[in-house]
Structure 1
Amino acid sequence: MLWACIVFPQLALDTVLRERDEPDCALVLMGGPSQRRVLQSVNCAAAKLGLRAGQTLTAARALADGFTCVEVDPARVDQVQQLLAAWAYRFSAQVSLHYPRALLLEVGSSLQLFGPWPLFEARLRQELEALGLRHRIVVASNPVAARMLANAHDGLAVTCPEQTRAALLQLPIGKIGLPADAAQAFARMGLRRLGEVMALPREALARRFAAQVQLHLDQLLGVRSVGLDFYQPPDRFETRLELNFDVESHQALLFPLRRMIGDLAAFLAGRDCGVQRFELHLEHVEGPDTRLMVGLLSAERDAAMLFELARGRLEPLRIPAPVRNLRLLAEDLPAFVPQHQALFDPRAQQAQAWPQLRERLRARLGDEAVKGLRAEADHRPECAWQLNDLGTCGALQVTPGSRPGWLLAAPQRLPESGVQLLGQAERIESGWWDGGDVRRDYYRIETREGLRGWAYQDLAAPGPLWLQGWFA
């Protein structure tokens, strides 16, 4: 087996930064008791002001001004870590959150699907950067070794037990995950690296240190296995974002909405499903939430498409009160079946596929404004086409080109000249059972401009031709 460990050294800070549209703003995360507030993490802009993690808030304000303070939210950090596990589930069925701020995933069985490890690693890094998360990635022959090697390395790949052991023996004592008292005891003995510790007699270590220390060393070197709880994706997706300020315009909601939709798409890809309906809740300072329902005719999981649909539903909405929080809920998660595509797409570069165009029209115009057509078993053209909901098909099949695709609201009289008849007449006599009896001879016609239509002559009252529709 081959295990990859992805460590997120600034997960709490990245969780806040990825939800803000101000990358150049100096921002710090605070923690600790109210009597002594301490900076737990700072971004690059705050570091340029001289701020460092571990400083008290009083000292930081004495050094600089104009930075934003945000309280650490452990619940939000845990929510992002659960999202990362769902994302990693796309690449491996064995994903574990055994260590905080880290993901363990077995990748040996996934190399045949995702390619050799360098290509696989590049894909992981690209998608993590798109999620806005800094990371380190290490591969080793057992999960504990991969996690501890990630304390000192990034990009290291030791794919066999011998290479893993050689890399571990060079690790400093403080980076192998020992309890603090055991690490201090080894340091007082003059031992600096794991290789020096492993050179000691095993019996001597067992007499001087607790059994937990020996167990950890055995798990680190792969002598004993560690029990891991593997992640199972939930059957629903829910995320909530606190804006921390009142928002009254649609434009200010687009950046957090895009990030939430991106998280939804990552969850869907990891679970190998799509979404057919999701709800966006606008939580106001006062009054009930504004619910925005986004429904699709078929399951989709493309982030750009889902964002455009949500945006199309949001922009016409009149926001009744300032928005304080956003919540996205998706429970209708059917299986996703990708559409078959040709090797060479004949569509123009800017053209959209019909499913995407259909959903955009529904989002912009409303569900009731976009309808489909179905053929009815009636020879009269005005009765042969009926409106139906998109996504449903009638049982009657129509030969393409046998009837015009555009019927006029009312027949128009044609001039006696300038129209050429194409072929023989097609007689239609029908409707006696419902009082709409017709007796007509239909002709395919062509005008001087080259337009082709469908016209008839009423046999009950012979006279001119009447245009009823146009062929495409």
Structure 2
Amino acid sequence: MLWACILLPQLALDSILRERDDPDTPLVLIGGPAQRRVLQAVNPAAAALGLRAGLTLTAARALAYGFHCVEADPARIDHLQQLLAAWAYRFSAHVSLHYPRALLLEVGSSLQLFGPWPEFQARLREELAELGLRQRIVLATNPVAARMLANGHDGLALTCAEQTRTALARMPVERVGLPADAAQAFVRMGLRQLGQVLELPRDALARRFSAQVQLHLDQLLGLCTFGLDFYQPPDRFESRLELNFDVESHQALLFPLRRMLNDLGVFLAGRDCGVQRFYLYLEHAQGADTQLHVGLLAAERDPAMLLELARGRLEALRIRAPVRNLRLVADDLPAFVPQHQALFDPRAQQAQPWEQLRERLRARLGDDAVKGLRAGADHRPECAWQLAEQGAQGGLPALPGSRPGWLLPIPQALDATPHTVLGQAERIESGWWDGGDVRRDYYRIETRDGLRGWAYQDLAQPGPLWLQGWFA
């Protein structure tokens, strides 16, 4: 087995920066008791002012001014870790969040699907960068070794146990996860690298140190198994984003909404499903939340399309009060079936599939503005075509080309329009039971311009042909 460790050294700070659209603004992450606030992390703009992690907030304000302070939020970090586990689940069925700020993936069984490790690793780094996260990635033969080697390496790939042992032997004893008192004792004894510790007799270690030390060393070398709890994707996605200020315009909501829908797309891809309905809640400082419902006729998971649909419905909404927070909830997550396309797609590059165009029209014009057609159990053309909800199945099959796709609201006389009658008449006599009795002979016609229509002659009142519809 091969295990990859993705270490996220700046996860707390990245969880803040990825939600902001002002990356050049100096920003520091603070924590600690109210009596002694301490800088836990700084972004590059703040570091350029001379600020660094470990300074007290009082000292930082004495050194520089104009930087923003953000409180460390464990709930935000936990939510992001769960999202990352859902993202990693698409690459491996064995994903663990056992260590903080790190993901463990069993990737040995995934290399046949995602290619050799250099290509696989490049893909992981690219997608993490798109999520706005800095990372260090190490490959080793067991999960404990991969995690500890990530403390001092990035890009290291070890595919056999001997390579893993050699790399571990060069690690400082303070950085391999040993208990703090044991690591300090080894340093005082002059044992600064793990390889020196491994050369000691096991019985001597057992007499001087607790059993936990020897157990951890065995797990590092892969001599005993290490029990991990593996991630299981939830059946519901929920995300909440606190805005930096009260928002009163639709445009200012698009950036945080884009980030939330990108996260939803990551969750859906990891779970291998789509979303057919989700809710966006605009939380106000006062009053009840404003709920925006976005429903689709088929499951989708493309973040760009979901943003386009949500944007169309959001712009039609009147924001009654400043928005303080955004919350996104999706619990209708059916299976996702990609659209089949030919190898050589004849459509123009800018053309959209009908499913996407249909959803965009519904988002822009409203759900009731886009309808479908279905065939009803009636021979009269004006009664046979019936409006229906998009995606609803009709009770009767309709053969393509048997009836015109476009019926005129009111039939038009053809006495002044040059035309040619094609084929024999089709007689329709129906409607005596509801007072709409008709007796007609229908003909296919072709105009001088090459248009083909459907016209009838009223047998009850002989006269000219009446055009009732056009064929595609």
Alpha-carbon deviation of 1:30?
Answer: 0.5
- The question of whether the paired residues in 2 share the 8 Å contact of 1:4 and 1:104 is answered with yes
CA distance in 2, matches of 1:83, 1:464: 69
Partner AA of 1:409 in structure 2: P
Name the residue aligned to 1:384. 384
CA distance in 1, matches of 2:417, 2:115: 70
Secondary structure at the counterpart of residue 292 of structure 2:
strand
Partner AA of 2:88 in structure 1: A
* Cα-to-partner distance string for 1:417-465 (whole Å, 9 max, x where unaligned): 5222223322222212221111222222222333222222212111122
- Structural mapping, 1:265-280, within 5 Å: 265-280=265-280
**Which stretch of the first structure deviates more once superposed, 445-454 or 395-404?**
445-454
Q: Does 1:288 align with 2:288?
A: yes
Name the residue aligned to 1:66. 66
Alpha-carbon deviation of 1:11?
Answer: 0.2
CA distance in 2, matches of 1:68, 1:28: 6
Partner AA of 1:38 in structure 2: V
Name the residue aligned to 2:98. 98
Alpha-carbon deviation of 1:116?
Answer: 1.6
Q: Does 1:119 align with 2:119?
A: yes
Alpha-carbon deviation of 1:161?
Answer: 0.6
- The question of whether the paired residues in 1 share the 8 Å contact of 2:417 and 2:447 is answered with no
Name the residue aligned to 1:438. 438
CA distance in 2, matches of 1:273, 1:471: 39
Partner AA of 2:53 in structure 1: A
Name the residue aligned to 2:221. 221
- The question of whether the paired residues in 1 share the 8 Å contact of 2:2 and 2:140 is answered with yes
CA distance in 2, matches of 1:168, 1:362: 59
CA distance 1:438–1:180, change in 2 (3 Å) = same
Q: Does 1:342 align with 2:363?
A: no
Secondary structure at the counterpart of residue 234 of structure 1:
coil
* Cα-to-partner distance string for 1:66-89 (whole Å, 9 max, x where unaligned): 111100001110110011111111
CA distance in 1, matches of 2:61, 2:398: 76
- The question of whether the paired residues in 1 share the 8 Å contact of 2:30 and 2:40 is answered with yes
CA RMSD, 1 decimal: 1.3
User: Normalising to structure 1: TM-score of the pair?
Assistant: 0.97
CA distance in 1, matches of 2:451, 2:65: 73
CA distance in 2, matches of 1:210, 1:453: 92
Name the residue aligned to 2:207. 207
Name the residue aligned to 2:326. 326
Secondary structure at the counterpart of residue 461 of structure 1:
coil
Alpha-carbon deviation of 1:204?
Answer: 2.1
User: Normalising to structure 2: TM-score of the pair?
Assistant: 0.97
Secondary structure at the counterpart of residue 110 of structure 2:
helix
Aligned-pair identity (%) = 80
Secondary structure at the counterpart of residue 112 of structure 1:
helix
CA distance in 2, matches of 1:341, 1:408: 34
Q: Does 1:247 align with 2:247?
A: yes
- The question of whether the paired residues in 2 share the 8 Å contact of 1:38 and 1:56 is answered with yes
Q: Number of matched residues? A: 472
Gaps of 5+ in 1: none
Alpha-carbon deviation of 1:126?
Answer: 1.6
Alpha-carbon deviation of 1:240?
Answer: 0.7
Alpha-carbon deviation of 1:113?
Answer: 1.8
Name the residue aligned to 2:84. 84
Secondary structure at the counterpart of residue 109 of structure 1:
coil
Partner AA of 1:54 in structure 2: G
Name the residue aligned to 1:312. 312
Alpha-carbon deviation of 1:98?
Answer: 0.7
CA distance in 2, matches of 1:399, 1:84: 49
CA distance 1:441–1:219, change in 2 (3 Å) = same
Name the residue aligned to 2:57. 57
- The question of whether the paired residues in 2 share the 8 Å contact of 1:416 and 1:464 is answered with no
Partner AA of 1:252 in structure 2: A
- The question of whether the paired residues in 2 share the 8 Å contact of 1:233 and 1:271 is answered with yes
Alpha-carbon deviation of 1:339?
Answer: 2.3
Gaps of 5+ in 2: none
Name the residue aligned to 1:29. 29
CA distance in 2, matches of 1:412, 1:354: 31
* Cα-to-partner distance string for 1:103-143 (whole Å, 9 max, x where unaligned): 11111111222222122112211211111111111110000
- Structural mapping, 1:140-151, within 5 Å: 140-151=140-151
CA distance in 2, matches of 1:456, 1:223: 88
CA distance in 2, matches of 1:97, 1:175: 19
* Cα-to-partner distance string for 1:263-292 (whole Å, 9 max, x where unaligned): 111111111111111111110000000011
